[in-house]
Amino acid sequence: MGSAPITEKDKLMMGLIQGVSFFEHSKANDHRGYFRRISDLDEIRNHASLKFVQSSVSFNATKGTVRGLHFQSAPSLEWKYVTCLSGSLFDCLVDVRRDSLTYGKHMSFELSEENGKSVLIPPGVAHGFQTLEDKTLINYQMSEVFNSTRARNLLWNDTSLSIEWPLDVTKISASDAQGEPWPVEF
């Protein structure tokens, strides 16, 4: 007996952004520690037909660090698959695709080593996070090679978005602090 897949319409009714998918990965514990697979391309292809071509990590030494809200402008079709490897973070997504049913909506959730969740983020959805613990490590897999001429940055604290960041900001880059105000063009 299996469960029915969640449709895009169901996701919209639950307040999720169109095209965003979540994955939860269990741990196999033993006396050495644990083993966890964090991505399975066959599983991901049930949600999107893509191949990852680049992988990066983001280490954040200090709780309260903000990065984002980043996206690649059109015609980029960059998908991101984000996993927290250690620590925890408040993750935030904003839909900047004018033709999307969820344009202008944002959603937030926690990713952590403990909960083992990953998120698949479609093109045209800005991504940012704030660390909830010191020494938080995040893994990114991307479907396109980073293109600095298409890199965009939505202002993380734009008041028209009404994102409730959980902590005071302890660290942020100059470029993230000076992001573009809403609305932005994908």
Domain-wise residue ranges, the chain: 8-172
What pLDDT score does 183 carry? 96
Nearest Cα neighbor of 184 from 41, 66, 69, 75 is 69
Average pLDDT, the chain: 91
> d(Cα 133, Cα 89) in Å, to the nearest integer?
7
* % pLDDT > 70, the chain: 92
Q: Which residues are the active-site residues? A: 70, 140
Confidence of residue 97 (pLDDT cuts 50, 70, 90): very high
What CATH fold (topology level) applies to the domain 8-172? Jelly Rolls (2.60.120)
pLDDT of residue 116: 95
CB distance 65 to 171 below 8 Å: yes
Alpha-carbon Rg of the chain, whole angstroms? 16
C-alpha–C-alpha distance, residues 51 and 56, integer Å: 15
Do residues 88 and 133 touch, judged by C-beta distance below 8 A?
yes
Stretch 77-91: mean pLDDT, rounded?
97
CA 60, CA 58: separation in Å to the nearest integer?
A: 6
- Residue 9, pLDDT score: 57
Mean pLDDT of the 78-101 span: 97
Distance CA 118, CA 42 (A): 15
Find the helix or strand (DSSP H, E) in which 67 lies: strand 66-72
Pairing of strands 88-95, 106-112: antiparallel
pLDDT in the model for residue 8: 58
pLDDT tier, 4 (very low <50, low <70, confident <90, very high otherwise): very low
Does position 112 have pLDDT exceeding 70, yes or no? Answer: yes
Please say whether the beta carbons of 83 and 118 come within 8 A.
yes
Q: How confident is the model at residue 13 (pLDDT cuts 50, 70, 90)?
A: low
Which two three-digit tokens encode residue 17? 């952004």
To which H or E segment does residue 58 belong?
A: strand 54-60
Note the pLDDT tens digit of each residue in 20-69: 999 998 889 999 988 888 888 888 888 888 999 999 999 999 999 999 99
